[in-house]
Structure 1
Amino acid sequence: MLRALARILLIGGAVLATGVSAKAPAPAEPPTLNSRLSGELAPTHDPVIIREGDTYYVYNTIGRYIGVKTSKDLVHWEQAAPLFDSLPAWATKAVPGTEGIWAPDISFVNGEYRLYYSVSTFGSNRSAIGLATSPTLDPKAKDYHWTDHGLVVQSTHADDFNAIDPNLVVDAQGGQWLALGSFWTGIKLFRLDPKTGKPYPGEKPRSIARRPAPAGAPAPVEAPFILQHGGWYFLLVSYDYCCKGVNSTYYTVMGRSRTVTGPYLGKDGSALMEGGGSILLRADLEEKQRFRGPGHVGAFTDADGTTYLVYHAYDREHDGAPTLRIAPLVWGKDGWPVAQD
């Protein structure tokens, strides 16, 4: 018996020495932020994110007015009361037939929060962008109050662009710009007067991205967002089609430039002015097929230096509901971001 036990121990020791049975299991991948999100995540369209104090705010398109979601930890989200309860009088005159406010953009500039928003009717470029400001985002604060400053940029059927999907950019020299656009001839950039947050008189749009298409065909590029890193300006835009539930084909591409006015090029040198760029976000692989059509991104850099990308995608497991998604950006050695989605 003792001999048999010794033989077993000897064989076991030999196996361990060869490393066959001692091989440790591969460590589990840490959960992503997206996999931990909870609370009121849907419906969410066209989100942007910012932080004031200990609270994160996501402003988004929901119903007729601007939806607001809040969180203390970036993980659990609660639905707050929407911004505004009626359309500004100027908006209904500028865009007859409009029924709501779309695609907000939020920034802290010149000591106040600046919220740009879109007014349009679906599929038309008779559109306008408005501006509202508040000293705080906290509805409980004594000085909380949104002041509407009216029309910023307008497009009509005579224009070759669509004045929706605004994004404020402050360049490295302190200059202010408004990127905007959806379909038509693509993404435009307007130089702003910092005092008013509106274009200088006579300011003409600069083209920074477009998707050439045969005459009469749609050119699906929209929802610009420009962020800065390492001396570069990164232009993020959405290609193809949103708003079709799980059949949405939206995806996000990027290009970078040393100047805010471009030209913006992808990793391979392809120009966003020619429908190029590099993919940043795409739908889940076919074998998973849960979150479809990720796009209309916003970005925010937190106090610890982490940049978070916020966007919407359509959840196949919940009837295609447009759902809030948040992914930290990791910057590679090549200077390009990767979304940890």
Structure 2
Amino acid sequence: MKSSILASLMGLAALVKGYANPLACSGVCGNAHDPALIRRDSDGRYYRFSTGGKIAIHSAKAITGPWTYLHAAIPAGSKINLAGKDDLWAPDVSKFGNTYYLFYTVSSFGTQNSAIGVATSTDLDNWTDHGATGISSKAGSAYNAIDGAAYFDGSNIVMSFGSFWGDIYNVKMNNPPLTVASGASSTRIAYKPSGTHAQEGAFITKNGNYHYLFFSVGQCCGFDASKPAAGGEYKIQVCRSSKATGGFVDKNGVSCTNGGGTTVLESHGWVYGPGGQGVFWDPSLGAVLYYHYVDTRIGYSDGQKKFGINKIDWSSGWPVV
């Protein structure tokens, strides 16, 4: 009797500590590194943008698919004359007014020679590249100017960005957000003071009275060649603040600029290294967390990463998948 009760309690503990698997995905669910998700207002069609191939665009009638590859968003490459201008990383797509804005990164792996660019569209299919936003970095800069994500805080559009080095910053943008606002300075909003400062992929969204800063922590890539020690791979964390421009703390009250971060999603079962995330408020599902991950049943290479979606439960005041 005692053993059966103990087994039941152990099973309950496993459920409490576990994470829901990603929602079913059909069609082209790969080619999904650093996804950005948006839904077109005119017809409700979903669009997914991802790193590489001059920003790959996929589209579907439903958030779970079937996803179809369309074409490169910026087929001629970026106007920004840096190494990586014909690859392009970490897209973020937002709509301000009647225009969609696609922010992207020009960089090369392991360097600070980076810049965030922007393209615009009225239909999500055809894009005009405008080149540099004014957010850039080089060797010796306080930050690495990658992983830009725009957010309207109710008064201003702010751009969050950064990776390793000084980790995550944000800065006020003009409206429309083609360039940094005149005289605006960058402020650090998240930092891991120990190790390699492996923190990136900032994304801010609002729920209730708080602005929630989601970010990825750990090793993102190259798992087929070299996996980190268990727990050192990508995972998704969050902090929150009453302001979008700083003051973020985790669930335990630890400042996000002093290593704070409450884990939202990490490796579990056949899901390995989830990250590169964003939050989308879906008309049917409510808030969803979207991200890329390795399906260990398929393979660990960057090209095999899959598109993942989980519904978010905000009932505790903190996001739970």
Could you say whether these structures have the same fold, taking a TM-score greater than 0.5 normalized by the shorter chain as the test?
A: yes
Q: Which runs of 5+ in 1 are unaligned?
A: 1-28, 140-144
Kept in 2: contact 1:99–1:121 (CA 8 A):
no
> Aligned to 1:46, what secondary structure does the other structure show?
coil
Larger strand share, 1 or 2: 1
The answer as to 2:266 corresponding to 1:276 is no
Q: State how far apart, in whole Å, the 1-side matches of 2:212 and 2:44 are.
A: 28
Q: What's 1:168 paired with? A: 150
Post-superposition shift, 1:245? 2.9
> 1:254-313: CA deviations, max 9, x gaps?
0100011121111111111011111001101xxx3x111001101111234701211000
In the aligned structure 1, how far is the partner of 2:287 from the partner of 2:87?
30
Residues in 2 aligned to 1:335 and 1:274: alpha-carbon distance in whole angstroms: 22
Aligned pairs for 1:189-204 (under 5 A) are 189-204=170-185
Query: Is 1:293 equivalent to 2:240 in the alignment?
Result: no
The answer to whether the 8 Å contact 2:83/2:106 transfers is: no
Separation (CA, whole Å) in 1 of partners of 2:21 and 2:297: 19
Structure 2 CA distance for aligned equivalents of residues 158 and 308 of structure 1: 37
Q: How many residues align?
A: 290
Give the ranges of 4+ consecutive aligned residues of structure 1 lying more than 3 Å apart after TM superposition: 96-99
Q: Which residue of 2 aligns with 1:9?
A: none
Instruction: Show the 5 A alignment for 1:1-341.
Output: 34-52=22-40, 53-62=43-52, 64-76=53-65, 77-88=67-78, 90-92=79-81, 95-96=82-83, 98-137=85-124, 139=125, 145-152=126-133, 153-173=135-155, 175-213=156-194, 218-245=196-223, 247=227, 249-284=233-268, 288=269, 290-304=270-284, 306-320=286-300, 321-332=304-315, 334-339=316-321
Post-superposition offset of 1:84: 2.0
Distance 2:169 2:84 in 1: 25
Identity %: 31
Distance 1:235 1:196 in 2: 20
CA contact (8 A) 1:98 1:121 kept: no
Provide the residue aligned with 1:16 in structure 2. none
Q: Secondary structure at the match of 1:308?
A: strand
TM-aligned CA deviation for residue 218 of structure 1: 1.8
State the one-letter code of the partner of 1:132: A
TM-score normalised to structure 2 length: 0.86
Judged with a 3 Å threshold, the aligned counterparts in structure 2 of structure 1 residues 87 and 310 are, in CA distance, closer, same or farther, namely same
Contact 1:33 1:75 in 2 (8 A): no
Which SS does the other structure have where 1:182 is aligned?
Answer: coil
For residues 205 and 267 of structure 1, the distance between their equivalents in structure 2, rounded to whole angstroms, comes to 25
CA change 1:134–1:180 in 2 (3 A) is: same
Q: Is contact 2:84–2:106 with CA below 8 Å preserved after alignment? A: no
Residue identity in the other structure for 1:218: T
CA 1:324–1:195 in 2, change beyond 3 Å: closer, same or farther? closer
Partners of 1:35 and 1:192 lie apart in 2 by 35
The answer to whether the 8 Å contact 1:183/1:221 transfers is yes
Against the structure 1 CA distance between its residues 172 and 304, is the aligned structure 2 distance closer, same or farther, given a 3 Å change threshold?
farther
Structure 2 distance, partners of 1:130, 1:226, is 19
Instruction: State the shift of 1:99 in Å.
Output: 4.2
Partners of 1:111 and 1:81 lie apart in 2 by 22
Cα separation, partners in 2 of 1:322 and 1:196, compared to 1, 3 Å: closer
Which protein has the larger Cα radius of gyration, Structure 1 or Structure 2?
1
- Give the Å deviation of 1:328: 1.3
For residue 34 of structure 1, give the secondary structure of its aligned residue in structure 2. Answer: coil
Give CA deviations for 1:124-167 in whole Å, capped at 9, x if unaligned: 01100001001111x4xxxxx32222211111113110111010
Contact 2:23 2:64 in 1 (8 A): no
